[in-house]
A = this chain, B = another copy of it.
Amino acid sequence: MDLSQPRGIRDIEPDEHETHEKIRHTFEEVARAYNFRAMEPGPLENLATLRAKSGTQVDEQIYNFRDKAGREIGLRFDLTVGMTRYVAKKKDLKLPVKLASYGGVWRYDEPQHARYRWFYQWDVEIFGDSTTEADAEVMDLSYKLFEKVGVGDFILRIGDRRVVEEYIRKKLKVSSEDKVLEMMRAIDKVAKKAEPDLVKEYEEKGVGREELTDLLKFGRIRGAPAAVLAKLEEHGLESVIGLSELGDSLKLRGLKRVEYDLSIVRGIDYYTGLVFEISDVAHPDLGSLCGGGRYDVLPKIFGRTDLAATGAAGGVERIALSLSEKKAAQTNSVYVAFTEPALFGDAMKVLASLRDQGTRSDIGQRGKALGKQLEDASSRGFRWTVIVGKRELAAGTVVLRDMRDRKEERVPLNEIAGRLLG
């Protein structure tokens, strides 16, 4: 029988799953400490709901289909849309509300190396708080997540769409909405494309060479927050207050690896204010590990003009890749062996007690000779073997064998679990 899987769908195998679990637990802990409550939006949405998030780019990637009754359904492509739909609909929620979510998402992309049609995301959102403090909270949490999960050398890069927009309107005197949007998209490409190519591309779109050059120069402003704020002062933009307040808050929060970068505007069009990305300095090939910002527009599309929204999300597979060089510590697995068949019952009791204390443990097959059991323990990679023998048992002890150096010692029965966990 054909055992293939659908295109772009794979299994998460044990080694990778262990890393995922570690990331998930760290995320749960950090989100709890920051007083976000966890929830999970349904994995299926009406296609119309998924399409509400403007970007046509995303629209093409939606994994959608008709169900057996002919309804147009889509698998969620992120957690943000579902979380926003949930809050928009639930009118009795006390605001502001801070929500966290972790789950699988689907994209009908062309599968590539390490890019699948199903992958995991974490996501945090604050609804109903329009202060800069809420933006800072989301960045702070994301920063701490990468710190705690062990991504060594990362950087938080922050921009503000309002500042770029004000510059385009006031300084470059552009008033057409479409043109403003085109120019925002151009600045997004500063780091990725050479200037001559950009000038050519955007001249075809009706953006003059001079205004684009000017804009790109503005977009290249980046560095430490204080330095960027100083540079911005000469432009006399009112909207700079956001980056200024944010700088104060991030300093109080003790965030150090922070850079302001005016070319950060985030591709998707629904962001409305402060935006940010975190990336692994040692792995620029991975792209951003997370991204986020303020997107007050989406709740409005869902009929809630009162609902401010800011948040962040990131891919779990990317963190796993970033961590992949740091090998997981060997686990304290224990194999319980017995010197003669009649002691299987006693060995089983030792096993039950180890398991009850949470130690990863297993037992030799009933009836197998000790030599065979030790071979088995070794080939299956157990860290320790506990050998249950008649004489030792009578003295309330067992033999603990270190499978690395084969050293053995007698240990009192009630001390094994503690010894192995320590």
Residue ranges of A at the interface with B (Cβ–Cβ < 8 Å): 1-7, 9-14, 17-18, 21, 28-29, 32-35, 37-46, 48-49, 52, 63-69, 71, 73, 82, 85-86, 88-89, 94, 98-99, 104, 108, 117-118, 131, 133, 144, 249, 252-254, 301-303, 333, 344-345, 348-349, 352, 354-362, 365-366, 379-380
Contacts and interface: CB of A to CB of B under 8 A. Distances in A.
A9 B43 contact: yes
A21 B311 CA distance: 22
Contact of A44 (B9, B44, B66, B68): B9
Given A3-B88, A4-B46, 17 more contacts: A1-B301, A1-B302, A3-B85, A5-B45, A6-B71, A9-B44, A11-B39, A11-B40, A17-B39, A34-B362, A35-B333, A35-B361, A65-B66, A68-B108, A98-B362, A133-B365, A144-B355
A1 to B, nearest CB: 6
A379 B7 CA distance: 50
Contact of A38 (B17, B33, B303, B333): B17
A396 B25 CA distance: 33
Contact of A11 (B17, B48, B86, B366): B86
Contacts of A104: 43, 104
What 6 A-B pairs come out closest when comparing CB atoms? Answer: A65-B65, A9-B42, A14-B37, A33-B355, A35-B362, A12-B40
Q: In the complex, which of the residues A32, A37, A52, A82 has the most CB atoms of chain B within 10 Å of its own CB atom?
A: A32
A38 B21 contact: yes
Contacts of A29: 358
Which of A40, A88, A117, A361 has the most chain B CB atoms inside 10 A of its CB?
Answer: A40
A113 B101 CA distance: 25
A262 B66 CA distance: 44
A34 B352 CA distance: 9
B348 A253 contact: yes
A14 B1 contact: no
Contacts of A301: 1
A42 B10 CA distance: 5
Contact of A32 (B5, B69, B358): B358
27 contacts: A1-B48, A1-B49, A2-B46, A2-B48, A3-B85, A5-B44, A5-B46, A6-B46, A9-B43, A10-B42, A11-B40, A11-B41, A14-B99, A17-B37, A17-B39, A17-B40, A21-B38, A33-B355, A33-B359, A33-B360, A34-B361, A44-B117, A98-B362, A131-B366, A144-B355, A249-B348, A254-B349
